[in-house]
Structure 1
C-alpha cells in the first residue's frame, strides 16, 4: 500500500463535497436570475446539500463498519458524478434542490468512509497527522471552492461548475479503484447487519466526551458555512467587489487555514490535542467577537472585516483537525459510526447555519458576523463543558 497515494485520494474525497457545497457560491445571483427565484431560495439549495451530507454520513458511516469501506467509496464517487450532471441540466429550482440533496448523500460517503479508513490503518500520532491532512483540506476546500467557481463562471454559465464537479467525481472513482484497498477485512467487521451498526451509533451518543467533541466541531462548521453562505453578499454587494476580487479574498483566507493546519501537524504529538483545540476555539470566537464589536460601533471597512475573517479561517485550521482526532479517539471501537456522527454533526449544524445570514436584517457584514459569532460561542461553550473531563489525547 502506498501511504502517500492513499492519503491523497482520501484527501480528494474529503474535498470534493465541500467543493460541491461552495464552488457555486459566486454564481448565486446568476442562478437566482436563471430560475427566476430569490437569493434566499438559492441559499436553500446549499442547505439541501448539507442535509444530504449529514444524513449520508450518519447512515453510511456505521454501515461501512458492517459492509466494508471500498464498495461504499466506489459507489459514492460514481453517484456523485451522475448527480452533478443532473444539477448541471436541472430545468427548475425544484429539480436542482432534489439533485443537490442526493448529491450531498453521495458525497458524504467519501468523507465519512475516508476518515474510517485512516482509523483502520493508523493509530496514535500517525493517525492524528493524517486526519489533520484530511481536516485541513476539508476546511480549506469550502474556502477555496468559491475561487475556483469564480474562475469557471468567467468562462460561461453557472452550469459549468457542476460539469466540473462531475469530472472530479469520475476522476476520484478511478483513483479509489487504483489506490484505495479494502481496509476493513471481513473478519474485523461488525456482526448483526446495519441495524446492529446503528445501535452501536446510539451507544456512542451516550459518551459525554464524544458528544462534547461533536458539538465543538459541529458548531465550528456551522460558523464556517454561515461565513461561506453570507460572504458573497458581504463582499460583492456590501463592499462592491467583483467575483474575481471576491475570489482573491477567499484565497488569502484559505492561506490562513493552510498555515494553521500545517502548524497543527507539527505540534501534534508535542502539545496536547486538548490545548490545541482550545487555541482554535479561542481564535475563532475572538476574531468574530472583535468583528461584531467593530461593526456595532460603526467601524465597517473592507480591510478590517477581511482581517477578522482571516483570523476566523486561521482558527479553523487548528480547531477542526484537533476536534476530529479527539472525537475519533473517543469512538475508536467503532470508527465508521464515530466518523458518521462527526460528519452528521458538522453538516447538520452547517445546514442550519447556511441560510441564517440572509434572514437577518441589517447590513450583510453585520448579519453574517452575528450568525458566525453565535456559532463560535456555541463551540466555545461545548469546549468549556469538556475542560474538567479530558479522558483522551
Structure 2
C-alpha cells in the first residue's frame, strides 16, 4: 500500500512539474533564440507571456472539463496537444511561429497541474492530504532547479533539443498517469459540461470572499519569487555576470529553499495548527524580503548576497502553500475540479502579469526586482490576514 501511495505521489508530482519545465528549460537559450529566430530580447521574453496568458485562461476550463469527462481523459487530451505543440516549437523558423506554438503549449499544459491538484484532494483526506500536497510541492520544487540545467546541457546540442525534451517529458508523464492513476471522477459524480454551468460554478467559487483571498495569497506569494525566474536571463547574466550554463547558481539554492519549506509543511501536518504555520511563514517571508531589499540597496551585485535571500524566502513561501491550497479546495468540495482550476488561474494570472508587464519594468536593476518581491508579499499578506484561517488561534 505504501509503495502504491508513493507511486501515486510521484506521478502527480510529475504532472504538476510540467508547467515549470515548460517555463524554465528554455530560459538559458534566450540569447541563442534571438540569433536563431531573428528576434529581439523583448520578443523572446514575450514568448513567456504567450505561454502564460493562455495557460491562465485555460485553467478555468481544465477543472470543469475533468469534472465532466473524467480526470484521465482530460490528461490524455491536454498532454497529447502539449506534445504536438512542443514539436512545433522545435521546428519554428521564426519568432511568430514560436509564439503560436507557445500559445498551444499554454492552452494544453495546465491540464496536468489542475487535474493533479484535484486528484490529491480526491484521493486523500485531512492531515494525510496536507502531507501529500506538501510532498507533491517538494518534488514539484525540484523542477525549476533541474530545468535550466537540463536546458543548458541541451543547448550544447541545439536549442531545438530543449523543446523535443519537453515533448518527451509530457509523453512519459501521460503514459505514467494512464498506467498508474485511478479515475477519481466516477460516472455518477460527473457534472455536465456547458458554458452556463461553468459560469454558474465560477460565480459560486469566485463569489466566495474567503476562497478569493486564499487564492490571491497563493498567487502573490509565488509571484514574489517567480519574478526572479522570469527575469533570470537578465538578472543572472547581466547583473551577476554568469553565463547560460550557470543558471543552477540561482535555481539550485532557491529550489532547495522550496523543498525545505515543503518538508516543514509536511512535518507540521497534524502537529501544529495551520494558522500558526501560515503566520510564521509570513513573518519569515517578510524578514527575508526586507533583507533582500536592504542588500540590493547597499551592496554591489554578487551571486551569494543577491541569491541567498531569495532562497531563504522560498522556505516560508513553500511552507504556506499546501495549507492555503487545501483550505481553498475545501471551500467547494462538490466542484473540486473547478475550484482547482480557479486556484491555478489566479496564480497564473499574476504570473502572466509579471511576465508581460512587471518584469520588463523592474529587471534593469536588482533593486527593482527586490521592490517587486516585497510589494507582492505585502499584497499577499493583506489578502490572507482577512481570512478565517489566518485569524484562528
Question: Normalising to structure 2: TM-score of the pair?
Answer: 0.93
Q: Work out the CA distance in 2 between the residues paired with 1:167 and 1:129.
A: 29
Following superposition, the deviation at residue 337 of structure 1 comes to 0.8
- 2:189 corresponding residue in structure 1: 188
Contact 2:66 2:74 (8 Å CA) reproduced: yes
Following superposition, the deviation at residue 187 of structure 1 comes to 0.9
Q: Work out the CA distance in 2 between the residues paired with 1:389 and 1:209.
A: 11
- The count of aligned residue pairs is 391
- 1:292 corresponding residue in structure 2: 293
- Structure 1 residues 356 and 290: alpha-carbon distance in aligned structure 2, compared to 1, 3 A threshold: farther
Which of 44, 60, 77 in structure 2 is aligned with 1:75?
A: 77
- Structure 1 residues 28 and 319: alpha-carbon distance in aligned structure 2, compared to 1, 3 A threshold: farther
- 1:23 corresponding residue in structure 2: 25
Following superposition, the deviation at residue 11 of structure 1 comes to 0.8
Q: Work out the CA distance in 2 between the residues paired with 1:294 and 1:37.
A: 34
2:61 is paired with a residue whose SS is: helix
Contact 1:287 1:311 (8 Å CA) reproduced: yes
- 1:385 corresponding residue in structure 2: 386
Following superposition, the deviation at residue 142 of structure 1 comes to 2.8
- Structure 1 residues 47 and 362: alpha-carbon distance in aligned structure 2, compared to 1, 3 A threshold: closer
Give deviations 1:232-266, integer Å, cap 9, x for gaps. 21221112112333323311221121112111111
- Structure 1 residues 326 and 110: alpha-carbon distance in aligned structure 2, compared to 1, 3 A threshold: same
Following superposition, the deviation at residue 353 of structure 1 comes to 0.8
- Structure 1 residues 143 and 373: alpha-carbon distance in aligned structure 2, compared to 1, 3 A threshold: farther
- Structure 1 residues 228 and 171: alpha-carbon distance in aligned structure 2, compared to 1, 3 A threshold: same
1:4-43 mapped onto 2 (5 Å cutoff): 4-43=6-45
Q: Work out the CA distance in 2 between the residues paired with 1:285 and 1:137.
A: 25
Q: Work out the CA distance in 2 between the residues paired with 1:145 and 1:135.
A: 16
Following superposition, the deviation at residue 109 of structure 1 comes to 0.5
- 1:157 corresponding residue in structure 2: 158
- 1:301 corresponding residue in structure 2: 302
Following superposition, the deviation at residue 17 of structure 1 comes to 1.5
Question: Normalising to structure 1: TM-score of the pair?
Answer: 0.93
- Structure 1 residues 40 and 288: alpha-carbon distance in aligned structure 2, compared to 1, 3 A threshold: farther
- Structure 1 residues 252 and 23: alpha-carbon distance in aligned structure 2, compared to 1, 3 A threshold: same
- Structure 1 residues 379 and 335: alpha-carbon distance in aligned structure 2, compared to 1, 3 A threshold: same
Q: Work out the CA distance in 1 between the residues paired with 2:6 and 2:195.
A: 31
Following superposition, the deviation at residue 336 of structure 1 comes to 0.3
1:244 is paired with a residue whose SS is: coil
- Structure 1 residues 204 and 267: alpha-carbon distance in aligned structure 2, compared to 1, 3 A threshold: same
Give deviations 1:330-349, integer Å, cap 9, x for gaps. 22231101100010001110
Give deviations 1:207-251, integer Å, cap 9, x for gaps. 111111011011122223211011221221112112333323311
Following superposition, the deviation at residue 323 of structure 1 comes to 1.7
Q: Work out the CA distance in 2 between the residues paired with 1:275 and 1:334.
A: 28
- 2:349 corresponding residue in structure 1: 348
Following superposition, the deviation at residue 362 of structure 1 comes to 7.5
1:360 is paired with a residue whose SS is: helix
- Structure 1 residues 31 and 15: alpha-carbon distance in aligned structure 2, compared to 1, 3 A threshold: same
Q: Work out the CA distance in 2 between the residues paired with 1:148 and 1:290.
A: 31
